[in-house]
Structure formats: structure tokens, C-alpha cells
Amino acid sequence: MRPFEFHRATSLDEALALLARPEARALAGGTTLVDLMKLGVEAPGLVVDIGRLPLDGIAPEAESLRIGALVSNSAVARHPAVQAEFPALAEAILSGASGQIRNAASMAGNLMQRTRCPYFRSHDWACNKREPGSGCPALAGADSHHAVLGTSDHCIAVHPSDAAVALLALDAAVAITGGDGVREVPIGDFYRLPGDTPEIETELRPGELITQIVVPRTALAAQSGYLKLRGRASYEFASASVAAAFRLEEGRVVEIALALGGLGTVPWRDPAAEALLVGHPLDAARVDRFCDALLASARPSAGNRYKLDLARGAIHRMLTRSLPC
């Protein structure tokens, strides 16, 4: 690990001022950042410990649930309001990592975690995300865990967060605080496609922090669920995952939201595809049409084409499950 300056922030203003320095990184639970520093993938000149800032607490308000950036993944998953009103979020969190990691991991850190692409995580390989312009060995290499949606000729790394997929289906937003105040960015706009700048992953700017996650309280959200398919039953990232919520009246869809994980360079959702289901029963043929539309832009290789079948199976399972009355 390269030498670095360490500062424990005692106020939000102090943290934001320090984080405006280009060499600075925020440290929350450390379960991603410290790993990457040990691997030499991240080498910040300044580490700003934000762990003591008052960014905790889960506050149910009339129209939304506000989750502090530093609330642990475990605390969110076991919170009664999350379990009752946003089951997809609780299930997504509990499907990830391990109990110990979820205890240490913060919610904002979860949303900001970096890809698990093995080339990115090893200095033995070039990587456009780690070192812009150096190349992407995954394009011609082992790519069975890589993305098929939202890819570019510069990067095909899959987005790793389970919680982000659930939050996308739940129409959540992140509250970002910077020198100019607070802005709320919908999760659907927060992550950037890799394009030709895969090193830029989110809309977060230097000198800003995620301070809250805002999840709208809706009847639809309470019907949500999360299904994760992966190589082993625990301690494994998604090969394909689905967060879905829908509401039927007289057997026909009146509202639906569905997000995919494990396939995209960003958590994936397509409102135009969802519109194809509204007004119709969720029969196999209609769900197939939805999958065709949702996956139409996929660019699979021989190594990761299997993810399309996994996603279709998971979508069918989630859309044909029976809902609690």
C-alpha cells in the first residue's frame, strides 16, 4: 500500500473541503476501499474518514424513507419499515456479501463500490477503468462474468451492487451534498455508462458526498421482491438478478417496475419495455415480449450469453409469483 495522509473528519463541511482535493477518497466502512488500496488499485494521497459524521438514522417521512449514508447494510435490511414497505431492498442487501461485511458496510459505500472485474483488480493487466487508455483485456479474454448490456468498446465491467438494483426498481434517489448545497439525483441517472470514459462511474463530483438515500413510499414498493442467481448460494455477486414490483387489477398489470442486475455496466431498467406489460395479463408470451424488449440492446459473447437465459428465467419467476393479498 502506498503511503497516504489520513484525516478523521469531524464535520461535514470539513469533509467536503478535504474531498475537493483530487487525491482524496472518503472512507466509510472500508470494505471496498481498503481492499483496493491493499491491491494497489486505489492509491489515494488523502483518506478522509467520514465514519463519525452524523449521516446515520433511518427516517420514515410522509412520502419517503430517508436512509443516512452511513447506516450499515445490516441495519437497513433488518429495519421494520424496510422489511414491510421495501422488501426488495431488504432481500437485495441480505443476498450480498456476508453478515460480517454487511455489519461494517455503509449504504453509500455499497452504492459507490467498484467493479469486481478481475482485470481491474490486478496490476498484472491493463485496464481502461484503472488506467484510462491502457486497454481492456476482458474484450478478448475471460468474460463470463462481464456485462452484456450498456457495454462499450472500452469497458464491459458489470456493476456489482445488489442494493442499487433494488433502489432503481423502487425509484429511489441519492441526496448529494457539496459546496453548493444538496441535490437529489435519481438512481437511474446516478450511474454513468462506460462509453469512452469508463473511469468516470457516477455523477458524484469532487468535494461531494452522498448524505442520504431517499426511497418513495408507495403501495407498489410494498409488493416488491428480489431474486439473485449466482454461482454459489452465498458470498457471491450476481450472475443475474431481478428486482421487481407489480400491481394487478382484474388480472391485468396496472403498475410495474423491474430492474436487472448482473448483466449491465450499470443497474438496468427500461420504462418503454415495462409499458408493454401495462394493461395485459402476465402470461408467458407477454413476459417473453417484455424480455425481448428489455434485452434487445445486449451485446453478448460466447462466454456470457448464458446470462440472457438466466435473466429471462429470473424475470419469468418474479413476474409469475403470487403476491400477498
Ligand X SMILES: Cc1cc2nc3c(=O)[nH]c(=O)nc-3n(C[C@H](O)[C@H](O)[C@H](O)COP(=O)(O)OP(=O)(O)OC[C@H]3O[C@@H](n4cnc5c(N)ncnc54)[C@H](O)[C@@H]3O)c2cc1C
Shortest distance, position 104 Cβ to ligand X, whole Å: 6
From the list ligand X, ligand SF4, none, partner contacted by residue 109 (C-beta under 5 to 8 A by kind): ligand X
- In which residue are the cell numbers 468516470 written? 200
Rounded to whole angstroms, the Cα distance separating 155 from 128 reads: 7
Verify binding: residue 113, ligand X, rule CB under 6 A.
Answer: yes
Instruction: CB nearer to ligand SF4: give 64 or 128.
Output: 128
CB 209 within 8 A of CB 19: yes
Rounded to whole angstroms, the Cα distance separating 163 from 176 reads: 18
Instruction: CB nearer to ligand SF4: give 147 or 170.
Output: 147
Verify binding: residue 90, ligand X, rule CB under 6 A.
Answer: no
Verify binding: residue 264, ligand X, rule CB under 6 A.
Answer: no
Q: Which stretch binds ligand SF4 (CB under 6 A): 76-84, 93-101, 123-131, 231-239?
A: 123-131
- Angle between helical axes of 87-94 and 162-169 (0-180°, round to 10): 170
- According to CB under 6 A, which one of 155, 168, 209, 318 is a site residue for ligand SF4? 155
- According to CB under 6 A, which one of 68, 87, 109, 150 is a site residue for ligand X? 109
Q: Kindly list the distances between the CA atom of residue 55 and the CA atoms of 12, 50, 168, 200, 203, in Å, as whole numbers in the listed order.
A: 9, 9, 22, 25, 20
Verify binding: residue 117, ligand SF4, rule CB under 6 A.
Answer: yes
Verify binding: residue 121, ligand SF4, rule CB under 6 A.
Answer: no
Q: Which stretch binds ligand SF4 (CB under 6 A): 86-94, 152-160, 173-181, 292-300?
A: 152-160
Q: Give the residues across from 184 on adjacent strands.
A: 175
37-41 own/partner pairs: CB under 8 Å, 24+ apart: 37/1, 37/2, 37/4, 38/1, 39/121, 39/122, 39/123, 40/1, 40/2, 40/123, 41/114, 41/120, 41/121, 41/123, 41/130
Verify binding: residue 266, ligand SF4, rule CB under 6 A.
Answer: no
Binding site for ligand SF4 (CB under 6 A): 115, 117, 119-120, 127-129, 136-138, 146, 155-157, 198
Binding site for ligand X (CB under 6 A): 25-33, 35, 69, 73, 96-97, 101, 104-106, 108-110, 112-113, 160-163, 204, 209-210, 235, 237
